[in-house]
Structure 1
Amino acid sequence: MPTVAIVTCDALPELDPDEARLLPALRESGVEAVPAVWSDPRVDWSEFDLSVIRCPWDYPERRDEFLAWSRRVPRLANPAPVLEWNTDKRYLVDLAAAGVPVVPTTRLPPGGGIALPSVGEWVLKPAVGAGSRNAGRYVMDDPEQNRQAHEHVHRLHRGGATVLAQPYQPDVDVNGEKALMFLGGTYSHAIRKGAMLDGPYRGMESLYKSERITATTATDAERDLAARALAAVPTDGVPLLYGRVDLVESAVGTVVLEVEVAEPSLFLGWDPPAAHRVAAAITARLAG
């Protein structure tokens, strides 16, 4: 029986409850699945036939360490070069250059001046981040929120982070974001998430914000756009085992908010057969 490591973090040693659905699905497929903490020095990754990244959600504060670990794992999905590309949201520049419509994004690296807009509603977040940690939404016309926005950027810069500034897309307050999941290169299912950010950043006590999620369907146009975005991921010829593309509606149409091919939630509980699709994709990868 092949053995697969389902990669997680210290805070979730038994996996996130949604990701834990993979374990029985894999066992039904004849694969022994074992949760394994990426930063645990006792784990011998060479013993696994495949290691599958699922919820190592403490990596933003330890990205260099996480990437160094990923390079040492002999059989990793998705592979280390993809993780390096995807764990810094500067990848949005690459997607735009490939002709994929994305939310307009301005990078504010530390060491430079802070040129924030003076009007409109904007999202500020670190280029390396997950789970909406250190992300806030600011009305720049409001003097107090404008001040808080500058303080937010200063704080992130002091920690060495590059900040991303994106115009807030007001349709999110009405229709939320739509996330499309792909498994083994094939569209699987979709969910809708309610608005995540309701104002300036106020700190967080957990790895990620709670989300309001409902199952939904994706249109052919949305599937095509998501597939285009995933096709632009530099994989060096290694097919992606999984991927998620988050879409929002903007004044110019549907645009990509994020492409998640490092450690995305796949929202398996909102489409009961999805865990078995992941298991099938893993089984196919083992056979290949």
Structure 2
Amino acid sequence: MTNHHQPTRGEPRVALVTCTDLPHLDPDDRLVLAPLAARGIAAEAVSWDDPAADWSAYDLVVLRSPWDYALRRDEFVAWAQTVPTLVNAADVVRWNTDKRYLAELSGAGVPTVPTAWVAPGQSWAPADSGEYVIKPAVSAGSQDTGRYDLADPEHRELAVRHVRRLSDGGRVTMVQPYLEAVDVVGETALLFLAGADGLAFSHAIRKGPMLTGPDLGVDGLYKPEEITPRTATPEQLAVADRTLAVVPGGRDRLLYARVDLIPGPDGSPVLVELELTEPSLFIGHADGAPDRLADAIVTQLARRP
């Protein structure tokens, strides 16, 4: 990688945006560096909050692993608005970094996990039974996320404490039923990348279950994931298309999108999250995916004036 303080002449410059915890990018993201170099593109990792970064020096600024933004979302969104060559664009970042977008998607007819929203200071009482997931509306990875069996008195108390802790921090809480199919079938992530004819399906992966119990307030942005390739079904692809059709500004200006699905109680796929800001793209789990991501970046460069 080149030094982002020294301009490279004669070739497009692309910043791959990361955070100070990952100064050399996530290992999966590093797989795109060689394909970009082969296409004559100089790419380098730059932390989004680096005060020395000159974002105007780049032909394209690609959000990849700025995974420390969750507790600084306002600052992150304000920063995004200052970068005209950012992909995905700042208005998408604002919309997608608060998971209350799920309510908008549900209202548009997208099958989503039923979600109750608890505003800061709002009272909340747990249900008498059932397994539920509690997490903040603004989060990265599985931080501040827990799974609770509300028939268990200890879990009920821990769930109340979890909501209170988020509320005391001024954060909106999400409460969702735990979809048991994830324990057997897992979660399916469908990855889409920009192409000459717009956003196109690239590959899919399976994520194994990650939540084993309550969140006890222990820090940790990154939890181990069990990732394997998966073949997307026509039904999953149809739900993904319905989801992407609701993206503000249209799907075809996006560099990438990740649609995360879990089977609902009747077995049909329901949306868990739509990741448009800083998703892991799992390009190391699909043949040709690093080259497809490099080509997507080339496509975005060609769209710039």
Per the TM alignment, residue 116 of structure 1 is displaced from its structure 2 partner at its CA by 2.3
CA distance in 1, matches of 2:219, 2:81: 30
Per mean C-alpha deviation after superposition, the further-off stretch among 24-33 and 123-132 is 24-33
Q: Compared with structure 1, are the counterparts of its residues 204 and 227 closer, same or farther at alpha carbon in structure 2 (3 Å cutoff)?
A: farther
The residue number in structure 2 matching 1:229 is 243
Q: Aligned letter for 2:229?
A: A
1:61 and 2:71 are equivalent in the alignment: yes
The residue number in structure 2 matching 1:102 is 112
Aligned pair count reads 288
1:16 and 2:31 are equivalent in the alignment: no
CA distance in 1, matches of 2:24, 2:218: 22
Match of 1:135 among 141, 145, 151: 145
The residue number in structure 2 matching 1:248 is 262
Per the TM alignment, residue 281 of structure 1 is displaced from its structure 2 partner at its CA by 0.8
CA distance in 2, matches of 1:106, 1:257: 14
Per mean C-alpha deviation after superposition, the further-off stretch among 185-194 and 248-257 is 248-257
Per mean C-alpha deviation after superposition, the further-off stretch among 219-228 and 101-110 is 219-228
The residue number in structure 2 matching 1:206 is 220
Unaligned runs of 5+ in 2: 1-10
Per mean C-alpha deviation after superposition, the further-off stretch among 108-117 and 192-201 is 108-117
Query: Within 5 A, what are the aligned runs for 1:1-288?
Result: 1-184=11-194, 185-235=199-249, 239-252=253-266, 253-288=268-303
- The TM-score, its normalising length taken from structure 1, stands at 0.98
- The TM-score, its normalising length taken from structure 2, stands at 0.92
Identity of aligned residues (%): 51
CA distance in 1, matches of 2:186, 2:41: 37
CA distance in 2, matches of 1:203, 1:227: 36
Unaligned runs of 5+ in 1: none
Q: Aligned letter for 1:240?
A: L
CA contact (8 A) 2:125 2:160 kept: no
After superposition, give the CA deviation of every residue in 1:110-153 in whole Å (9 maximum; x if it has no partner): 11111322210000000000111000000001101000000011
CA distance in 2, matches of 1:237, 1:182: 10
After superposition, give the CA deviation of every residue in 1:6-53 in whole Å (9 maximum; x if it has no partner): 000010010001111111111111111011100001000000000000
CA distance in 2, matches of 1:167, 1:186: 31
CA contact (8 A) 2:132 2:148 kept: yes
CA distance in 2, matches of 1:285, 1:40: 24
After superposition, give the CA deviation of every residue in 1:153-196 in whole Å (9 maximum; x if it has no partner): 11111111100000000001111100000001100000000111
Per the TM alignment, residue 272 of structure 1 is displaced from its structure 2 partner at its CA by 3.4
Q: Aligned letter for 1:133?
A: Q
Q: Aligned letter for 1:231?
A: A
